Amino acid sequence: MTATTTTTRAATRGTASRPSRAGTGFLRHTAVLTLRQLRAAVRVPAFVVMNLVQPLIWLLLFGQLFKSVVEIPGFSGGADYLEFLTPGIVVMMALFGSAWAGTSFIEDMNRGVMDRLLTSPTHRGALMVASLVYQAVLTFVQTLIVLGVAWLLGARFDGGLAGVLVLLAAAMLLTAAFSALSNAAALLARDQNILIGLSQLITIPLMFLSSALMDTSLSAGWVADVARFNPFEWAVVAGREALLSADPDWASVWSYLGYLVAFTMVLAWLATRAFRVYQRSA
């Protein structure tokens, strides 16, 4: 065997191992950064609790205030408004919580942590994915709490465990998508007040242009038309269909979950590229 052949094979082995090392580094960085945020949440749980209190208030108040809405002719959401409302409240909690995800990036910018991370070997994708995973974990825990409270109030879900899992998946995907959007806005705006304004501008219309609180068959026709293209509505419909029905329309459920996966991947990719804009303008 010639020296040239040996060198070529060694170079080939080295090149082949680079993607593996890069993938391992990405996963390791993602795990470390996710644990960093989880530890912060454990040390200061006030934000997690505050994000949970409002949805529970809505569940309690709206569930009682509008419980007779099921008697309106044309309402197709079932015979119990609390059961109809619960998936909407879960997804609403996911949306509102994820809209604030960018605040952690702004805090890191203000403390200089973000600049140190970006000048280190830390994987850019891991910085973004860790934030999305952290928010999704919070949504998972908070969803189980909301479902538990709804069950204590008398709600019963025919979809069983499969329905719960679909609702969790829909809520976590929506969380990841809008966390990515919030992080991108934070990197571009670098201002807490701007981020808050953008969050309110986006979340409130998305919530009311959906069936989260009211069956769209009772709304103006254009509301139902707009809701078809609303990612928030995709999560609500997928979760509600799977949770409330013993025999759900699985084709519809998987379609909406597929839309959410594609939506999340696009926003995560765009948010990761926002790091370059941040670094160029730093």
Q: Using the predicted structure, report yes or no on whether residue 254 has a pLDDT greater than 70.
A: yes
Question: The whole model's pTM is what?
Answer: 0.85
Mean pLDDT computed over every residue of the chain: 86
CA dist., res. 211 & res. 224, Å (int): 8
Confidence label for 231 from pLDDT (cuts 50, 70 and 90)? very high
**DSSP 3-state of 1:** coil
- Region 163-167: mean pLDDT is 96
**Which pLDDT does position 139 carry in this prediction?**
92
Amino acid 23: pLDDT: 63
pLDDT at 6: 45
Task: Please determine, for residue 190, whether its predicted confidence score (pLDDT) is greater than 70.
Answer: yes
User: Residue 78: which of 160, 170, 157 has the closest Cα?
Assistant: 157
Q: What type of residue is 216?
A: T
Q: Of 50 and 225, which is predicted with more confidence?
A: 225
Query: Furthest-apart CA pair in the chain: how many Å?
Result: 86
> Which of 8-17, 25-34, 150-159 is predicted least confidently?
8-17
Selected residue with higher pLDDT from 21 and 155: 155
Q: Name the packing angle between helices 124-152 and 3-43 (round to 10°).
A: 40
pLDDT computed for residue 14 by the predictor: 47
pLDDT at residue 146, as a whole number: 93
